[in-house]
A and B are shown apart, each in its own frame.
Chain A
Amino acid sequence: MTTTAPRNGATDPVTVEVVRNTLAAIADEMALDLQQGSYNMMIYEVRDFCCALIDKRGRLLAQNVGGVSHFVADLGVVITDALERFGEDGFRPGDGYLMNHQRVAGQHLNNMVTYTPVIIDGELFGFAMTRAHWSDVGGMSTGFGARGAGVDAWLEGLQIDQLKLIDEGVYDEKALKIIADNIRFPDAALGDMRAQFAACRAAEQRLTELVRRYGVPEVQAAIEEVFDSTEARCRTVVAAMADGEYHAHSVMDHDFADLDVPVDIDVTVTVSGSDMTIDLTRCSEQRKGSINARTLAGAYVAYKALTTPMEPVNEGSFRALNVEINEGNFMMAKFPAPMASWSVALPTVVDTVITALADAQPELIPAAHFGTLGGSFAFFGQDPASGPFVAQGIEGGGWGGRPGEDGASASVSVCQGDVRNSPVEALELRFPVRVEKRALREDSGGAGKHRGGLGQLTEIRNLVEGSWRLSMAGRHICPPWGLWGGDTALPGGHALQRPGGDFEPVNGRVNAPADSVARIFTGGGGGWGSPLERPVSQVADDVRRGYVSAQTATDVYGVVLDESGAPDEAASARRRDELAAVSSSAVSSASASSAGAAAAASPAGASSAGASSAGAEGAGR
């Protein structure tokens, strides 16, 4: 007999692996159920939702893969709050809770949380939870929620604070009626809610099966090992980075209320051994406008991308990370601060954290991406033919050039994962609109050895009168920055053309007569490395394919093309020498400030260059 017993004191490796795989599979199954059973495109098409299993201490056991990444590991606080209020004994099998209150949840009110307790043989084990974007929660706007000056939590919509909607399997009909009477599309929202609770119920069953089979202590021990091993994987990555303090800074144009006061995003990342601290305390304080939130997502998404991007998320994913953030920071705002635009700054926050570490992880970090939540649009009103409607969509932007290759064009932000755009044909089948153009924006990507991806330009004609909600947290002051000598990209925005008029910039909700055309344009990604190092043939290909204009090829890349579009090698070499002479005198001071500061200098350096292009941006050509 050559067999020996497994090492003592450790959980059976098979049980650990089974628990790891099964918990993740349950969360994914919830997501599939919710997505396919849902009633609004923000869930089924945009995938603006998450599903998770939480233990009875509020720790994340598993979260679905895909969906919106800025929901990462953010459901635990809801449970911690519920446990404080109701106690561990406060839950019965069959109960179901609804929650969107910003006091704890800290997001826009459209993001409705449902959860049900998982009680096994009379003992609370944990919770099955979903968070999903309802198309309406009342308030002064619909689709993506209220935005702009003078908005508070009550104008934003219906607030639901840890409401037990289902009592041991029985819905509270009065509460349901109040909800239904105070939102614009009750059929859709309550349909979504049913799908959310159905996903929770399915997960309860699956989790119970798992725990019954292996036993509570065994599963709990396995969960601890899953957390430990996840943490260890993250630590391995951080330990390979050079110890030190890394810094980067960027700004959003405004908070939607004080339009001339930028929102500061100032990040210091400290690496010490396998520990990482992300310090956000020097970011803007809580603001008058709706850009506020209570979220750690900016730090979490960045850390996840840096450490274990392809692994499922659990509590262990963030245990080796310390996030410093003060109460009253715009990302840790106090109720009743307006939060309708809670997530708009997050892609830029993530980019700023990542950029700070460009020196520590040069083989991974790309130049900045477009940094907003895409080109979002909503058109709503009354169709004389079919009644009230809200058409919505999110257009992607460009990603930064990266080590080894160009950035991707027309992709969602780092916070949006599996979010998809709305098909032209789906929009036109359902809503009184006609999409006239959906195109890549020439020259919108930052020039570089590895070019930034292109933003998009979409034009939609409304066939009936209605309201457009066209709002974007601007990145004109600090457009998407380049890295290692790459150029900044063009930022995005919105414009509207009323019948007979020209396109005029808009930011917010506007009424539009029939036959107006909304233009949604998104930013590109920054360039990586000097454009003068981009192979001439690649620049010629870019021009032939219409990604880069011939003008930019000559002015920025130093590539001269003949009439057939073929590069003139000799003329290009001369042109590149000229451009190199000009830029070496201009940037000598910047490059002198040590390699370590180069990355951190990029966003700040970009801000001055960006300001001049902001004015020219106008209606987005």
Chain B
Amino acid sequence: MGGDRHDVDLSPHVSDEIRKTTCYMCACRCGINVHLRTGENGQPKIRYIEGNRDHPINKGVLCAKGSAGIMQHYSPARLKKPLLRTGERGRGEFKEIEWEEALSLATDWLGEVRERDPRKLAFFTGRDQSQSLTGWWAQQFGTPNFAAHGGFCSVNMAAGGIYTFGGAFWEFGAPDWDKTELFMIFGVAEDHDSNPIKMGLGKLKARGVKVVGINPVRTGYNAIADEWVGITPGTDGLFILSLVHELVRAGKVDVDYLLRYTNAPWLVIDDEGRADHGLFARNDDGEALVYDRQAKACASYKQVGTSAALKGEVTLPDGRKARPAFERLAEKYCADDYAPDAVSERTGVPAAQIRRLAAEIAEAAFDKEIVVDQPWTDMKGERHERMIGRPVSFHAMRGISAHSNGFQTCRALHLLQILVGSIDCPGGFRFKPPYPRPIDGQPKPHGGSKPSEPLPGPHLGFLRGPEELLLQDDGVTPQRIDKAFSWDAPMSSHGLMHMVISNAHAGDPYPVDVLFMYMANMSWNSSMNSGGVMKMLEAKDDDGNYKIPKIIYSDSYESEMVAYADLVLPDTTYLERHDCISLLDRPISEPEALADSLRWPVVDPATQGEGRDVRGFQSVLLDLGGRLNLPGMVDGDGKHLYKDYADYMVNHQRRPGVGPLAGWRGKDGEKNGRGEPNSDQIQRYIDNGGFFEAHVPEEAQYFKHANKAWTDWAIEMGLQDGPVENVFQLYLEPLRKFQLAAEGHGDRQPPDTHRERIKRCFDPLPIWYPPFEGEGLDEEEFPFHALTQRPAAMYHSWGSQNAWLRQIHGSNPLYVPGAICDQAGLEDGDWAWVTSHHGKIKVPVRRMEAVNGKTMWTWNAIGKRPGAWNLDNDAPEARKGFLLNHLIHELLPPKSDGLRWSNSDPITGQAAWFDLRVKIEKAPPEDHPVSQPQFEPQKDNLKKPADSLAYGHEWEIKT
């Protein structure tokens, strides 16, 4: 029997229609082609989802999550109708109600709070990316208590970058994949830029460019790195500053770059013990001074044609002494504290490896200099005939930032980038529009709150000193429920979502009446101390009332958090909704193009499941805003201004001519960036594949921080309204202002309890200090580090109820280094008790060698509460899966000072997930071991899913 008798249809029908929208299986937001085909019930059904080849982000590729979108969209865990709690909190007992009843109830609860005391609403959103709407809504409501999940995610990375050079990694910048000659990636399991990083690594591999992975765990990107630095968690800052030590000592810094683009020459006042010590010397206009070596006099740093000094003591016109910031910097990092031999043991990185890597950085930056023949003009008016590139690039994420020393570590990495001149040059790190956006282009945080009035400005921002803290009249008590912008975490630009429930439960600084959350699984994997948080949400006062009286929650799925809500507002899936991926928020630009995009309902929810009566959360929020008469959401007669989110996306203007979507503005869609609303705008996006893209002019491609052509274009496109100065802040003066306050200077004084840590941690030059949790306990008792990563197939994604993805990652062993296994008598398949200062968990063990010898790890957010997500109570996620969260407390171990400090970075409040210290011991063998702790199953309100799936059987091509 040969092969040729078989009849195969080589050209079968694929789909009836392709609709192009934006993926939302994670934060990467790729363009997708959704193939629709008639299903057996006669309704449109999703046949296939592939990447959109024209899309600026993914250029046709699509990851595992995106490809599993079908299972997410048809998940049996989808909520289908508003729910009102009938049983006790946490049990999951609800009755279905109609939308009108749900919205009336929410309006009553919220309206009462707004009239009496808007602070009593805490509105926090999770992984959504509609913060420009949700933040504006909260501002119009008038509560100071709003943030998204940045505080427990990676605010150190964002704030460290923006304070230092007006940019950040993530979707705000990227390596110059096509030109770089050395790439170093720190602490990245996955990132928002999920597919672009993989595509970029593929490009580097194709060109044979060396990739160095710095990560305690050698999986994923680190597995293919040409060199692995298996660093000890929490010591990246020390490693980076040791590289800086090597580079500075040998003069491998780009002096011209430092003089042109940084505050290296700015004069820092030496006035020990006085209120100006360590601040910049300034002229009467407040401009920082430099010392002009030619004129032998001080001059404003803005003056053109000076030859600024980088060293040497200067006597200021008023007689005070000052020195260039760079001299302080050089002294600090040339010191032996940062020598490779001094940091090797602590970091776990051999000194010779540090020295060689520093040499490789220097070689890439200076011996492989790139020259691009593209003339450009800088912001001082100087014409440059070409663009000089230092082709070494870096990327980093939560691994370096989710520590109590993360802000300084992120700053240290940016310091390294800047010293070798590799920010926004050919081959280096590149800004993505609308970035750069330095502090001068960022809002300040706004607080204050009055009944029935909006907040005076946006909640989140970047403050410049103690005078901008959000404190109550006593100058000490925080204004915000999460204590952001207070002495606890002064520069907490993304808020501290991980402290909201804990503080609200404790009534510290005050209780709240309504907790309103969106897409944030706070009773489970999004909180530290998950079990404790569950108890806080259940806790009642002496009168039998819940301490957090009312909880409104919106989610698409029956997550663990749903069980703790009093009122549940069911959201749509990502294929049933309008959304904008806006330049006002977190856009999808690439370095060479400004871009934004939208989602639109490629299918109607009513056709996508029995009894499905769900609404997009953003439309619901605007409806609530109208019912509450919030300014900007109703007209003079109280009529709602926006029918739904789509209407808002088209017609809302944040500034005249600037709205959520940048493309096809103007009456006839002829304007981009700025222009009046265009009623046809959404259709124009859809016709273009769901996105808009405008290419950055050639002259503006690099040096955007100082490039006139970039500034002109950014203003034209509505990214900014005028030039915004961006001098890279190697020496960060706002930190010094906090230190001065801690030293007793100024009107705004921290509590005495805070002085020492502010003096120690708020160094205006990047430093390293040991992570707090390790410092607060006996390191011999808890000798090991434990941390988590999200698997690539689930990063930033919505859970393992996905039938396909849960077959890939359905349970999560604890990966334990071989040496620790041997010491503890552990073998593959054993179970172990892992203990921290706070808790104890029982977990299955897997031996691993490709990991830092002091570090054990697991996949995050695989473990589930029984009954949640419409999974079987015996699902492996519930019985074998586990969360490390139970070991991590939101507070640090008690110290002798009697205070319980937040387990956060003292500067930004970033949750210090990866500071965790543990010990491990073998658990006695059992017949059917399950992970511990276990929780009572939450009651499931949804139809039990089918016992088997044969997705797409109606389209089978017979063979």
A binds B: no
